[in-house]
Amino acid sequence: MSIEGDAGFYRPKKLSDAIRLKKILGDKTLVIAGGTLAVQLLNKYLVEPEAIISLEDLPISYVKVAGRRVEIGATTTVASLLKHRDLPQALAEAARSIHGLALREAATVGGNLMAPAPAGDLATALMALDAEVMLRGSRGARAVPLSKFYRGALQYNIRRDELIYAVRVRRVPGFSAFRKFTAYRYSGPTIASVAVGLDLDRRRIRRAAVSVGGLTTHPYRATAAERVLTGREPSRETFEDAAQRVADGVSITHGLYSEAYLRRLVSALFVRAVEKVMS
């Protein structure tokens, strides 16, 4: 592995070397891949690393699809995702919603999982697909449900010596969709987003997953809306009832728009997402 710069810049070639470095260097280490999140964190003085570990040389950029199972390497870029036609619908729509050629070429799936709002569109979509974060450390590998990965602002369920090497969807839902709202048509930060994953069984919703991004520091599962959907027929009445519950129990941290407006916005985005699913 090579070292550059006075503070220490590391570009390991093996995942095992990256894990060993992270264990030695500790919490003062900033892990980067595309660097789009790192630039924001550094510019805003949210992190002051003593060393940087770059994952760009590791062989963890890939997309594997086998039936309804999907695994995506952590350093896979948005541009690489867009080349695959067999991605789950919600994830494909989230990837297409990220604009700017430079951003698409640099931003990675792993970085998007760690990005606080207003970033994190891929994370919102993946959460509605019941995705798992694949972590590897000195004690081996483990899988953490994405819905349990976040612990607060820039706080995650990840150990000192662990790195994200992939994200996995064990069983893609039969229907999924992603919708977001931004102040600009082709670019700009996400104000709010909603992703939906549904499985139907004899004209009833057997399983429902709803995730919301933009309202808090990280995406969350709208469990109250999921309970309304599960077991009912996929009708307009069902969806309108669930739309009223997508922001239940949420403490909204968005500072630019009123809470009432954001609650109405995510309700409308949810309706648009399920209408897209059922169409």
Residue 75 tokens read as 């350093």
* Cα–Cα dist 198/226, whole Å: 10
pLDDT-derived band at 123 (thresholds 50, 70, 90) equals very high
At residue 7, the pLDDT reads 57
**Greatest CA separation found in the chain?**
63
In sequence order, the 6+-apart residues with CB closer than 8 A to the CB of 83 are none
One DSSP character per residue, the chain reads -EEETTTTEEE-SSHHHHHHHHHHHGGGEEEESS-HHHHHHHHTTS---SEEEE-TTSS---EEEETTEEEEETT-BHHHHTT-TTS-HHHHHHHHT---HHHHHH-BHHHHHHPPTT--HHHHHHHHTT-EEEEEETTEEEEEEGGGTEEETTEES--TT-EEEEEEESS--SEEEEEEEESSSS-S-EEEEEEEEEEEETTEEEEEEEEEESSSSS-EE-HHHHHHHTTS---HHHHHHHHTTTTTT-----SSS-HHHHHHHHHHHHHHHHHHHH-
130: left (phi over 0), alpha (psi -120 to 50) or beta: left
Q: Note the pLDDT tens digit of each residue in 163-190.
A: 999 999 999 999 999 999 998 776 678 9
Find out whether 52 and 8 touch, Cβ atoms under 8 Å: yes
CA 13 to the chain's CA centroid: 26
User: What mean pLDDT is predicted for residues 157-165?
Assistant: 95
At residue 5, the pLDDT reads 39
- CB count in 10 Å sphere of residue 256: 10
Domain boundaries, the chain: 2-54, 63-169, 175-278
Q: Which fold has domain 63-169?
A: 3.30.465
* Cα–Cα dist 222/187, whole Å: 26
Q: Which CATH number among 1.20.1730.10, 3.30.43.10, 3.40.50.1820, 1.10.10.10 corresponds to the domain 2-54?
A: 3.30.43.10
User: What mean pLDDT is predicted for residues 70-81?
Assistant: 97
The reply to whether the predicted model has a pTM over 0.85 is yes
Q: Note the pLDDT tens digit of each residue in 207-225.
A: 999 999 999 999 999 999 9
The CATH code of domain 175-278 reads: 3.30.390.50
Q: Note the pLDDT tens digit of each residue in 96-122.
A: 999 888 899 999 999 999 998 888 999
